[in-house]
């Protein structure tokens, strides 16, 4: 189990305790423990499995929670949680995912209406009965209905990072078998899609069939959906992500890789092209229609080449013009993770981060970065202890002194994630912002404004001469919150006109901007930064998801400012000041 798995189960149990009106001190202990585990730099499982270590040495973990963690590691659950789940309908945990409902309101729903399912809750809102409960009204009913629709739409989808982590775990698990040449993810994970429906793993080598047997007994498999000569399908984890593992022969590996990577739209267009050229394309290879002889299939490159195309990077395979570009030998040279030289959006313990500036710098240096920008929150986020004007100015001076010493071995740019307020004003006075190297303007509040108001809000923010970039521009949280409405194209145009960059936020919950917006902005001449919004050193590794998203948008290194060397980037920063 990863730390986030332990933390999620503790958070959920705390919510169940609150629904049950249990002791507040105990509820807080579970939440505090979950928070401590979530941000802890070591894997809790490794500590639990080490006889020389004590998990109670982790701040926030007492003897009681230590026992709970041991139960979780052994059984995937624990008695307290199980007993709470027996007291409530099976959908209790689903209710907690509905925006507008907290543990106390869910307790009222159970008491007054005995709702058992999400469908029953939806009907309750449609019948306008939710508003009859204390502190609930028509607006809340509307919010709950909208959230239920989103929940149903996203049900069965998983974040890109969840599928990626499972693919890595399964690859390590199966790689120990004899006769395995390669284990390669395909499908939407390989294309870097922001959410994943299921995970495809393709296995090659003389021992590939043994992987089909072994995956069925993977420790976290809770349901074997099917087992055949060439494929095994399983459900993994409590959330039930479906994994399809296929054994492939060497002669058809390339064709199968192309076929199972998709997308469906790309594959349909490719098959139609093959037919026009006198070929039949399938997961087994490329064959002549007249005599059914094989002409390609061992590698993806030869599949595309026989069809008169350059090999197309997986991230572009969405039938968005990539086939025409491949035919014209005009595909973009996409940015690579190795080309990123710095991370420009991260938080420290000065606000809501989990590590100091020095610790974040050390972690970034270990990744080979030349520079970072520290961008803690501004004062509007009071819960995050955001910086006011005095702290902003003091921070800028501190960073200048750090860079003068050179002791950290990496260049630090002083920055701020400055809230864009409801009326579009910046949360910090311009005079203080002028002291910083970099200012990311972000929206964290009042996301329910009408599109015209939200657009005007951004337009006013863009008037700030010290604004460097717009952070996570659409405000979405994948599988949880839709983008807020505004005229995206108009704001992109305004940002370009004022020399303001656009962020591609690499947090797996955001991946914002998305690929469609990136493509639009690139055509207009926008410049981008790819950054992690890290709140912990471990989060710096999320850069790969932002790079995948940038690749899906067709970006090369020339489109992304933090592929520049430190001095070049510093010069680019100075050019943004208006």
Fold entry, domain 3-154: DNA polymerase; domain 1 (1.10.150)
> Which pTM value belongs to this model?
0.84
Helix (H, G, I), strand (E, B) or coil at 51: coil
Rounded to the nearest integer, the mean pLDDT of the chain is: 93
**Quick check: 509 pLDDT over 90?**
yes
State the DSSP H helix or E strand holding residue 241, giving kind and residue range, or none if neither: strand 241-248
Q: Tens digit of pLDDT for each residue in 219-274?
A: 889 899 999 989 999 999 767 899 999 999 888 999 999 999 999 999 999 999 99
Q: Cα-atom radius of gyration of the chain, to the nearest Å?
A: 26
**Quick check: 577 pLDDT over 80?**
no
Q: Tens digit of pLDDT for each residue in 448-487?
A: 899 999 999 999 999 999 999 999 999 999 988 889 999 9
Q: Give yes or no for a contact between 22 and 31, defined as CB atoms under 8 angstroms apart.
A: no
Q: Tens digit of pLDDT for each residue in 280-292?
A: 999 999 999 999 9
Q: Give yes or no for a contact between 512 and 505, defined as CB atoms under 8 angstroms apart.
A: yes
Residues of the chain with pLDDT > 70: what percent? 100
End-to-end CA distance of the chain: 49
The class level of CATH for 253-327 reads: alpha beta
What local confidence, expressed as pLDDT, does residue 288 receive? 97
Helix (H, G, I), strand (E, B) or coil at 233: strand
Helix (H, G, I), strand (E, B) or coil at 3: helix
Nearest CA-CA partner of 226 in 244, 211, 239, 206: 244
Q: Give yes or no for a contact between 570 and 344, defined as CB atoms under 8 angstroms apart.
A: no
253-327 and 337-576 share one CATH topology?
Answer: no
CA 170 to chain centre: 20
What local confidence, expressed as pLDDT, does residue 99 receive? 82
**DSSP string of 458-519?**
HHHHTT-TT--EE-STT--BTTTBPPPP--HHHHHHHHHHTT-EEEEE--TTT-BS-HHHHH
**Quick check: 2 pLDDT over 90?**
no
Residue ranges of domains in the chain: 3-154, 158-248, 253-327, 337-576
316-336 core/surface letters (b: 16 or more CB in 10 A; e: else): bbbbbebbebbeeeebbebbe
Fold entry, domain 337-576: TIM Barrel (3.20.20)
- Torsion, Cα 187 488 343 432, to 10 degrees, reads -160
Helix (H, G, I), strand (E, B) or coil at 311: coil
What local confidence, expressed as pLDDT, does residue 154 receive? 72
Q: Tens digit of pLDDT for each residue in 293-305?
A: 999 999 999 999 9
49-58, 108-117, 414-423, 534-543: least confidently modelled range: 108-117
Contact residues for 575 (Cβ-Cβ < 8 A; gap 6+): 499
Contact residues for 552 (Cβ-Cβ < 8 A; gap 6+): 191, 192, 193, 315, 316, 318, 515, 518
What local confidence, expressed as pLDDT, does residue 376 receive? 97
Q: And the tokens for 278?
A: 């006198």
Q: Tens digit of pLDDT for each residue in 162-179?
A: 999 999 999 999 998 999
Under CATH, domain 158-248 is a member of which superfamily? Beta Polymerase, domain 2 (3.30.460.10)
Q: Give yes or no for a contact between 531 and 500, defined as CB atoms under 8 angstroms apart.
A: no
Nearest CA-CA partner of 438 in 477, 389, 396, 491: 396
Helix-then-strand count for the chain, H and E: 24, 17
Q: Which residue has the tokens 């984890």?
A: 237
**Quick check: 578 pLDDT over 70?**
no
Residues in the chain: 578
Q: Tens digit of pLDDT for each residue in 65-122?
A: 999 999 998 888 899 988 988 888 877 878 888 888 888 888 888 888 888 888 888 8
């Amino acid at each position: 189990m990863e730390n986030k798995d332990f933390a999620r189960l503790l958070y959920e149990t705390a919510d169940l305790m609150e629904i049950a009106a249990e002791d507040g001190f105990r509820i807080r202990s579970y939440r505090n423990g979950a928070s401590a585990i979530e941000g802890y730099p070591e894997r809790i499982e490794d500590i639990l499995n080490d006889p020389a270590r004590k998990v109670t040495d982790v701040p926030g973990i007492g003897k009681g929670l230590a026992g709970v963690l041991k139960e979780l590691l052994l059984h995937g659950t624990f008695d307290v949680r199980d007993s709470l789940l027996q007291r409530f309908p099976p959908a209790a945990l689903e209710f907690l995912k509905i925006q507008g409902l907290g543990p106390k309101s869910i307790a009222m729903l159970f008491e007054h209406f005995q709702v058992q399912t999400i469908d029953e809750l939806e009907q309750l809102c449609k019948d306008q009965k939710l508003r009859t409960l204390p502190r609930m009204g028509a607006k809340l009913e509307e919010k709950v209905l909208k959230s239920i629709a989103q929940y149903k739409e996203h049900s069965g989808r998983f974040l890109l990072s969840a599928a990626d982590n499972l693919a890595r775990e399964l690859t390590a698990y199966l790689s120990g078998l004899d006769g395995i040449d390669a284990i390669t993810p395909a499908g939407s994970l390989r294309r870097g899609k922001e959410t994943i429906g299921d995970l495809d793993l393709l296995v090659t080598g003389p021992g590939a069939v043994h992987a089909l047997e072994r995956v069925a007994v993977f420790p976290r498999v809770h349901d074997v959906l099917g087992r055949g000569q060439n494929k095994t399908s399983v459900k993994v984890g409590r959330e039930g992500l479906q994994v399809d593992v296929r054994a492939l022969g060497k002669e058809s590996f390339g064709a199968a890789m192309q076929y199972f990577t998709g997308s469906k739209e790309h594959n349909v267009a490719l098959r139609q092209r093959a037919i026009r050229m006198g070929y039949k394309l399938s997961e087994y290879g490329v064959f002549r229609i007249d005599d059914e002889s094989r002409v390609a299939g061992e590698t993806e490159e030869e599949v595309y080449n026989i069809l008169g195309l350059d090999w197309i990077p997986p991230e572009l395979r969405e039938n968005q013009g990539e086939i025409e570009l491949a035919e014209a030998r005009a595909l973009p040279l996409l940015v690579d993770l190795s080309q990123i030289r710095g991370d420009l959006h991260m938080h420290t313990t000065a606000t809501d981060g989990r590590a100091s500036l020095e610790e974040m710098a050390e972690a970034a240096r270990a990744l080979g970065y030349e520079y970072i920008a520290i961008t803690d929150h501004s004062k509007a986020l009071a819960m995050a202890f955001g910086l006011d004007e005095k702290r902003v100015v003091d921070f800028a001076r501190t960073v200048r002194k750090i860079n003068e010493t050179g002791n950290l071995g990496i260049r630090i740019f002083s920055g701020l994630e400055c809230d864009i307020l409801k009326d579009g004003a910046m949360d910090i006075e311009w005079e203080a912002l002028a002291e910083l190297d970099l200012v990311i303007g972000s929206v964290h509040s009042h996301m329910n404004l009408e599109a015209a108001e939200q657009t005007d809000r951004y337009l006013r923010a863009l008037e700030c001469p010290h604004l460097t970039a717009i952070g996570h521009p659409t405000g979405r949280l994948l599988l949880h919150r839709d983008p807020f409405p505004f005229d995206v194209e108009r704001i992109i145009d305004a940002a370009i006109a004022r020399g303001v960059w656009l962020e591609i936020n690499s947090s797996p919950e955001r991946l914002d901007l998305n690929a469609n917006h990136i493509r639009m902005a690139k055509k207009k001449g926008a410049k981008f930064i790819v950054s992690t919004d890290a709140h912990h050193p471990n989060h710096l590794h999320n850069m790969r998801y932002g790079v995948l998203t940038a690749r899906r948008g067709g970006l090369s290194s020339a489109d992304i400012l933090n592929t520049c060397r430190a001095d070049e980037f510093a010069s680019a920063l100075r050019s943004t000041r208006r």
